[in-house]
A and B are shown apart, each in its own frame.
Chain A
Amino acid sequence: MVIVMDKYDVIVIGGGPAGLAASKSACKNNSNVLLIEREAKLGGILKQCIHDGFGVTRFKQKLSGPEYANLEIEQLKKEKITISLLTFVTKIKKLESGFILTLVNREGVKEVFGKNLILATGCRERTSKQVFIQGTNPAGVISAGTAQYYINILGKMPTKKCVILGSGDIGLIMARRITLEGGKVIGVYEAKSTPGGLTRNIVQCLNDFSIPLYLSKTVTRVFGEDRLEAVEVCKVDERMQLIADTKEIIKCDALILSVGLIPENELAESIEVEISKRTKGPKVDQTLMTSVDNVYSCGNALHVNDLADYVSESGEIAGKNAALNKVNNRNLVKVTVDDKIAYVVPSHIDTNKPLKDIVFYFRSKNVLENKVLHICVNDKQIYTKRFNNIRPPEMERVVVNLGECEKIEKIVFKLLEVIK
């Protein structure tokens, strides 16, 4: 018996905001699309983000996570698209002409073929052991995302009185959420000397609820055999070294961690997509194609974003380009950055692909004031933009036209002083 495999122009892995936008834009550009989601519902992490602030750029209104996701899903459902829910990709096999994916779901195991792949696999949270917290291994040490799931999806409290480590956005949002639900947040502790989250979240989630934020302090140890009973906090210096004799024991029943997100790229790595050390996501060109031809990356799998709106935008770019993809020879030029910039996405420019109005995202390494972004092509300055205030937690976005540059060999991003 010959089994005829389902064939698609574009297969999107991941049904969060990046995957939804990618699927929609691939469909709109006349592609036959399969969207694969491992959970029972589309929307990804947005489903549990019941706070508002989503969609200001994309929908010109303040939405909650589920509202934002629903708008995306409604729009997507107008397109002709195949959606496979509760489906897990166990294997990707690379062929000359495309990719064979092995899928597992409640109906069984099957293989599908796709000419182009879009990896919209999101990110995961760093764990307590990845920040080397020591001591016992009790219940009550959980990531902020898991806490959010328990409270917002299950309607259950994981803590009565907790310490939050890390001032990333999810940590701040959970500080407010736990307080609203009657839990006590003793404080948010941040090892760095500057907060990790968006300013609006510091104000709305901590200040408005009188939750203290302790900078240059970290959690080093947890106590309690079966359930957490206390944590040890310690001051750290600028080089993140512990300062002796600053230990303090705080009684609580949970430690909630918001200590960073890591793009999930295990599937990407299985087909040898090159991963950037800086972003922990794939190296991509302006079409968001990775180092492997016909494989695209977007959203938090590409690099960790702070706004869902940008996640959707990158999905849209990947979807459109995957649909319009004509295989040609690639000529990649690396985008280099100066020592003030943490990273730029895309990391490469393919000079054989359209160069008009390229969307670049970048982050600074430190908090900076009064800087000018200079973009130079072949040592010639082609773009400048002034930034009064630039902070690592807040990603910057610029649209740059490289269409008029001749024979691009070198692209450099620099943050320079404002010349008065």
Chain B
Amino acid sequence: MENKDIIRLQKKISKLYKNIKVSSKEDCVVLKGELDNWSDIVNIGLMAASTKKFYGVINEIKLKGYKEAPMRISDIKDNEYDGIECDVLIVGGGIIGSAILHEFSKYNVNAILIEKENDLALQASSRNDGCIHVGIDLSNKSKKWYYLNRSLEIYEKLANDLKINYRKDGQTIVFTKNFQRLLLPFLKIKAKENNIKEVHVLNKKELEKLEPNTTPYAKFAVKFGNGAVICPYNMTIALAENAVLNGGKVFLETSLLDINMEGDVIKSVVTNRGTIYPKVLINAAGVFSDKIAKMANDQFFTIHPRKGTNAILDKKAKRYLSNSSIAVLGSSANHKTSHSKGGGVVPTIDYNPLVGPTAHETPFREDFTTDIQAINEVMSKHVSSMPKLSKNDIITYFSGIRAATYEEDFIVQKGKWTKNIVHAAGIQSPGITAAPAIAEDIVKFTQEVLNTKFTKNPKFSYKRGIKNPLRELDNETRNKYILENPDYGQIICRCEEISKGEVIDALNRPIPVNTISGIKRRVRAGMGRCQGSFCEPQVLKIISENKGISLENVKKKGNGKVLVGDIKDGDSNG
């Protein structure tokens, strides 16, 4: 970078915005000032990144009148983990952190993952559509594509090894205008460049046969056979659980509060549960990854949170749903930027149709609220690919926050200034897909930082000791399980057919949980059309009995208790 790049950018920005100061920090650009509109702040960051002249964009422009909400942290304050030393400390229990812990558990490395919430995958890793993408929309010069391409080679086997369902339905782009055929040669070249296998052009007849419920205005379609779906949060949990069985450690409700530096070296990490002394810190902190980088004097990028909302429909709506993930060209939820694939209608791994997502910039890093506008937006956009979709079939909806950088690419690298930090930051879509290969490289970079070569963990195994959901078994096998343990024959969740035995198993897995939402995510009790109206009290009772927690102290999620006390007449026997 030369000084004239800074001057040029300053000029460009000054034409549009007043009082924004552009400066440099080595080869990074630093933006400072104060503005009224968040979208302007994001826009300036994107302008800086689009010059491609800088190593990174540090956007410190403040939003007028906005005081950034502090990171949600656990109420716990103790010294449980004080003084612990380890080889690597991973910050963040999303799919990236969990995949990294899992990768480390293949070696003789003392690795610890800290997660601020009381369960894994509570943020972006559970708040997405679960698509394994093929990467047609990505530049093959991007890290996004690089890691996606490598991960696709290993994903299906990894999922199978971990007993996580992986369904290769493919992804279909529907075209509604004949002139769009002109795009086909380019699409084919792009597919070849991006190493995408199984590309099929479907004429109207073939499309109607494969996807009878898509729009009658379809002229033709392109199907990418390699596209797949998984359950993103159960993949995350499986990676972490398997890592724990192989020697990795997971500390929940442990928030990183500060980092103690000594020159350009991290000495220790302060948490709400004591100070931990790692040799290397791995930054997989999602929307907070730039904050962690800053604490470690290694911030060369900035996260601008981008919110997305998805709607989940009743399984019954499957009858008129697609057999693959499907989207109409031009129905993209965000025309302006090509940073989000635009979403579509996805038959999830559990066969609920999922519609979405939206994409809206926001200063709030942990704002998971939903709005009716977003629901209307996803439904009206995707009704173009699936005309029979109906708002009446929606059973739930949720929002997530993408950890986008201004470069709109992943950051997977060793620290720029700090010696013993490795970043896996700025991970947004296709992060679920890219996680396994990212984890491999993080281990590689860690070896470089430590100037060592890790020896293999001879006891490593993919075993997780969990059963398939009983509803998926044949009668004979199911019967055998019930004879061994009658709790497997007592159905407590009617919508998803989940037994009491499965709930008890989920409470006692390698990373134990004791919240209603933790159970819901692991076994699907409460995921169905009644949304827990019937099974929530049953799950609450089972948690209470098995974990020795009183009924009123059982939590739905976080610190949210379901019950507030006894009735007036008191003296209940539960």
Interface residues of A (CB under 8 A from B): 38, 86, 88, 90, 102, 104-109, 111, 124-125, 127, 129-130, 132, 134-140, 142-143, 145-146, 149-151, 153-160, 180-182, 220, 224-227, 253, 266, 269
Contacts and interface: CB of A to CB of B under 8 A. Distances in A.
Interface string B465-480: 0000001000110110
A157 B565 contact: yes
14 contacts: A86-B490, A88-B497, A109-B479, A124-B533, A139-B557, A140-B562, A146-B533, A149-B537, A155-B574, A156-B565, A157-B566, A160-B565, A181-B568, A226-B556
Size bracket of the B interface: 35 or more
B369 A135 contact: yes
Interface stretch (B30-38, B262-270, B353-361, B390-398): B390-398
Contacts of A132: 372, 375, 394
Contact of A127 (B398, B489, B530): B530
A109 B499 CA distance: 13
B370 interface: yes
Contact of A143 (B316, B533, B560, B561): B533
A298 to B, nearest CB: 19
A135 B370 contact: yes
The listed residue with most A CB atoms (<10 A of its CB), out of B497, B567, B569, B570, is B567
**Nearest 6 A-B pairs (CB), nearest first?**
A155-B572, A226-B560, A139-B560, A139-B556, A226-B558, A106-B486
B394 A155 contact: no
Given A134-B369, A225-B72, A102 B497 contact: no
Contacts of B531: 127, 129
Nearest to B533: A143
B536 interface: yes
B564 A157 contact: yes
B482 A108 contact: yes
Contact of B395 (A88, A125, A129): A129
Interface in B510-547: 529-534, 536-537, 541
A129 B479 CA distance: 36
Contacts of A226: 555-560
Interface string B482-510: 11001101110010010100000000000
Given A156-B563, A227-B561, A253-B564, A124 B555 contact: no
Given A181-B567, A181-B568, A136 B369 contact: yes
A138 B559 CA distance: 10
A290 B317 CA distance: 22
Given A90-B497, A129-B397, A158-B564, 13 more contacts: A38-B494, A88-B494, A108-B483, A127-B533, A134-B370, A134-B371, A136-B368, A138-B556, A142-B536, A151-B567, A156-B551, A157-B565, A160-B565
B556 A154 contact: no
Q: What's the dominant secondary structure at chain A's contact region?
A: mixed
Given A130-B395, A137-B398, A150 B563 contact: yes
Contacts of A225: 72, 558, 560
A150 B372 contact: no
A47 to B, nearest CB: 13
A411 to B, nearest CB: 29
Nearest to B396: A129
B519 to A, nearest CB: 14
Contact of A106 (B375, B482, B552): B482
B563 A157 contact: yes
A150 B537 contact: yes
A20 B534 CA distance: 21
A278 to B, nearest CB: 14
Given A109-B478, A156-B552, A139 B567 contact: no
Nearest to B572: A155
Given A109-B479, A125-B533, A140-B560, A154 B491 contact: no
Contacts of B566: 155-157
Nearest to B319: A269
A125 to B, nearest CB: 5
A157 B567 contact: yes
B3 interface: no
A342 to B, nearest CB: 17
B2 interface: no
B316 A266 contact: yes
B484 to A, nearest CB: 10
A154 B537 contact: yes
Query: Of residues B368, B375, B398, B534, which shows the largest number of chain A Cβ atoms within 10 Å of its Cβ?
Result: B534
Nearest to B573: A155
Nearest to B544: A154
Contacts of A159: 564
A111 B476 CA distance: 11
A36 B101 CA distance: 48
Contacts of A146: 532-534, 536-537
A109 B477 CA distance: 9
Nearest to A152: B567
Nearest to A149: B537
B263 to A, nearest CB: 39
A137 B573 CA distance: 30
A137 B520 CA distance: 14
B364 to A, nearest CB: 12
A140 B566 CA distance: 16
B482 A107 contact: yes
B570 to A, nearest CB: 8
A376 B419 CA distance: 89
Contact of A154 (B487, B529, B551): B551
Contacts of A136: 368-369
B375 to A, nearest CB: 7
B482 A109 contact: yes
Contact of B316 (A102, A130, A140, A269): A269
B124 to A, nearest CB: 16
Contacts of B490: 86, 105-106
A16 to B, nearest CB: 13
A247 to B, nearest CB: 13
A109 B396 CA distance: 32
A138 B515 CA distance: 13
Contacts of A90: 471, 497
